[in-house]
Structure 1
Amino acid sequence: MEKIKAKIYYIYHSGFAIKTENHFLIFDYYKEPIENDVTHKPLAVLAPENIKQMKNVYVFASHSHEDHFNSSILEWENYNSNIKYIFSSDITINKNRPSYTFIEEGQERTFDDLYVKAYGSTDIGISFLVKVDGLTIFHAGDLNWWRWKEDSLEEQSLAESLFKAQIDMLSVEKPIDIAFFPVDPRLQEYYYIGGEYFAKKIQPKLLIPMHFGELVSITREFAEKMIKQSINAVQINYSGQEIIY
């Protein structure tokens, strides 16, 4: 039996927590799910008593959109004084603390034995490439092929070229173990094209869809499409779901 390298917990939308061998990472916390919704289960992984006992906690926020950044995450420092926050430079916080690091596209940072590089986005902010405990992890933030039906052909063409340029730059980081990538139902029939292109070019070992709000069913459709590409994509069913890598 292969050794478990990471336990990944789906929080909500684009929010995930990852427990690696020696670290606890949280990406793009927005909010916790609506209680009593049948698709959700209680989220123990972010309970104060759990955060308090975790070591090497790093909290990431890819940009300032309210569905990716919630200032309530700053309160976690009350439970664990050793937390480090890594924010996109477009995020504005009234106070500055030694535990906050702001980075922008192209910048690299090393925190003890954790390495972070900021890649670009096709919206605001950045995407994160993280290397830790022998794993390479990518969280796309709002990096996606945003093909909106109401856009002009010129706008659609520009969106495609900007997206593909970002993925081409990212391809130097292969192999990527775990990748989180948007599968947004608002794009209607184009919801999967960014994820599919990303999967073909990057070939992540585990692809985890995100940015779908309440519509968890879209992850099953996406996973079925990825099977045809020989990509291992996760079907998400509820908040708090544990994914083993």
Structure 2
Amino acid sequence: MNVIYLNHSGFLVETENKVLVFDYYSQGGRFDFFNPQHFIGKDIVFFVSHNHNDHFDARILDWAERVSYVVSDETRLSSDFQGEVLYVKPHEVYQFRGMEIETLLSNDEGVAFVVEADDKMIYHAGDLNWWHWNGESKEFNDEIAKSYQEEIQQIKGRQIDVAFVPADLRLEDKYCWATDYFMQEVGAAAVFPMHFWGRFDVCEMLKEKPYGDKIHNITKENQKFTF
């Protein structure tokens, strides 16, 4: 299995038969991360967790003749779009192109994904995160904690091979709470921080954690990891 960090929360996962691209983001075309011609003979599926522009790059629609799409329900594409699209809602399980796709409810927008493909289980959080802001009210932060914990509890006991979990340093000392809780309650063989806005040093910070041996050190865009 190969994992490529694209940018921000965007990752490509290549399994034996499939190429799964989560929350592709090219910063308005600044980065050119993907060419379907590099994956001849494989089934390519793009996942869109929600419609924020740092998670949904409309350039992915240009490849509709070659790829298919799994898109959160509130991210409706144009009615005349001709590509193959599965719209998904939170707390559902779908069978699509030989995969099982389970969705969680994001406490920001859209969904998180748990995808089983080619006997690999992949978790991509989208914007499901422990959004504890130091300047917010106790009521807000308590509700965020409750919503995050409830969603993660729904996948407790799963054998996750690869997890993509937010680690946003804008949350200051709380940047790691989402990863801490996920690793305590669920765990994964390999963990990739995301949504860190170019702060690659967050990977080294997380490697100091008790689960640090599971953290993969991202240092640049379009970086490839092979398992």
What TM-score results when the alignment is normalised by the length of structure 1? Answer: 0.86
Q: Who is 1:31 aligned against?
A: 26
- How far did 1:156 drift? 1.1
Q: Who is 1:38 aligned against?
A: none
Task: Write the deviation string for residues 130-151 of structure 1: whole angstroms up to 9, x where unpaired.
Answer: 0011101010000110000111
Is the Cα–Cα contact under 8 Å of residues 199 and 231 in structure 1 kept in the other structure? no
Mapped partners of 2:56, 2:28: distance in 1: 15
- How far did 1:224 drift? 2.1
2:98 to 109, 113, 133: 113
Structure 2 matches for 1:141-160, cutoff 5 A?
Answer: 141-160=126-145
2:16 to 13, 21, 31: 21
Pick closer, same or farther for the CA change 1:8–1:208 going to 2, 3 Å: same
Q: Who is 2:211 aligned against?
A: 229
Structure 2 matches for 1:176-191, cutoff 5 A?
Answer: 176-191=160-175
Which structure's residues are more often strand, by fraction? 2
Does structure 1 residue 205 correspond to structure 2 residue 189? yes
Mapped partners of 1:94, 1:112: distance in 2: 22
Task: Write the deviation string for residues 4-40 of structure 1: whole angstroms up to 9, x where unpaired.
Answer: xx100000000001110110110000116997xxxxx
- Give the number of the structure with larger relative contact order, counting CA–CA contacts within 8 Å between residues 6 or more apart: 1
Is the Cα–Cα contact under 8 Å of residues 203 and 231 in structure 1 kept in the other structure? no
Q: Amino acid of the residue matched to residue 114 of structure 2?
A: L
When the two structures are aligned, how many residues end up with a matched partner? 226
Does structure 1 residue 219 correspond to structure 2 residue 203? yes
- How far did 1:162 drift? 1.0
Pick closer, same or farther for the CA change 1:92–1:33 going to 2, 3 Å: closer
Mapped partners of 1:58, 1:175: distance in 2: 22
2:59 to 72, 78, 97: 72
- How far did 1:47 drift? 2.6
Q: Who is 2:147 aligned against?
A: 162
Which structure's residues are more often helix, by fraction? 1
Structure 2 matches for 1:1-16, cutoff 5 A?
Answer: 6-16=1-11
Report the aligned-residue RMSD.
1.9
Mapped partners of 1:103, 1:34: distance in 2: 26
Gaps of 5+ in 2: none
- How far did 1:230 drift? 6.0
Aligned-residue identity in percent: 29
Task: Write the deviation string for residues 31-52 of structure 1: whole angstroms up to 9, x where unpaired.
Answer: 16997xxxxxx86x6135325x
Mapped partners of 1:213, 1:33: distance in 2: 15
Is the Cα–Cα contact under 8 Å of residues 130 and 144 in structure 2 kept in the other structure? yes
- How far did 1:223 drift? 2.1
Q: Who is 2:119 aligned against?
A: 134
- How far did 1:82 drift? 3.9
Mapped partners of 1:54, 1:92: distance in 2: 29
- How far did 1:92 drift? 2.3
Q: Who is 2:37 aligned against?
A: 49
SS of the aligned residue for 1:171 comes to coil
Is the Cα–Cα contact under 8 Å of residues 117 and 128 in structure 1 kept in the other structure? yes
Q: Who is 2:72 aligned against?
A: 88
Q: Who is 1:39 aligned against?
A: none
Mapped partners of 2:151, 2:109: distance in 1: 13
Gaps of 5+ in 1: 1-5, 36-41
